[in-house]
């Protein structure tokens, strides 16, 4: 009986060790991003024109001018270490791709890549 338990335990360990997590590859992160991107001068106007109509307090994140920066930073929407992994960027190229232009997405990504400063 003890030998069977050892055999089953060993088999379970081998099976679990052989399991591999498969991930769907993400598209490569764009290169040649815009530089010297200003949050108030470049990013917020994109939100004002394309996003505030839905994200004005009732739907997170709140992208109105007085709230947007804190909502994005404190809400975990921005990852300055891995900009293309930012929830904001992934949403803009995913479910919201038809709401902003490619240039607007690159501007926002450039802002994140430069450290997502409140400038």
The Cα–Cα gap between 30 and 63 comes to 24
How is the chain split into domains, by residue range?
27-113
The Cα–Cα gap between 95 and 58 comes to 18
User: So what's the pLDDT on residue 21?
Assistant: 65
CA dihedral 70, 75, 77, 79 (to 10 degrees): 90
Task: Give 63-98 pLDDT, tens digit per residue.
Answer: 999 999 999 999 999 999 999 999 999 999 999 999
Residue 96 structure tokens: 């919201």
Contact assessment for residue 76 and residue 84, using Cβ atoms and an 8 Å cutoff: no
């Amino acid at each position: 009986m003890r030998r069977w338990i050892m055999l089953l335990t060993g088999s379970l360990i081998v099976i679990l060790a052989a399991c591999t997590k498969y991930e769907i590859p993400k598209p490569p992160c764009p290169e040649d991003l815009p530089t010297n991107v200003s949050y108030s001068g470049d990013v917020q106007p994109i939100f004002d024109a394309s996003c505030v109509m839905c994200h004005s307090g009732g739907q997170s994140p709140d992208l109105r001018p007085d709230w947007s920066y804190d909502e994005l930073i404190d809400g975990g929407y921005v990852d300055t270490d891995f900009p293309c992994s930012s929830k904001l960027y992934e949403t803009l190229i995913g479910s919201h791709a038809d709401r902003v232009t490619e240039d607007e997405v690159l501007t926002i990504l450039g802002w994140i890549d430069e450290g997502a400063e409140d400038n």
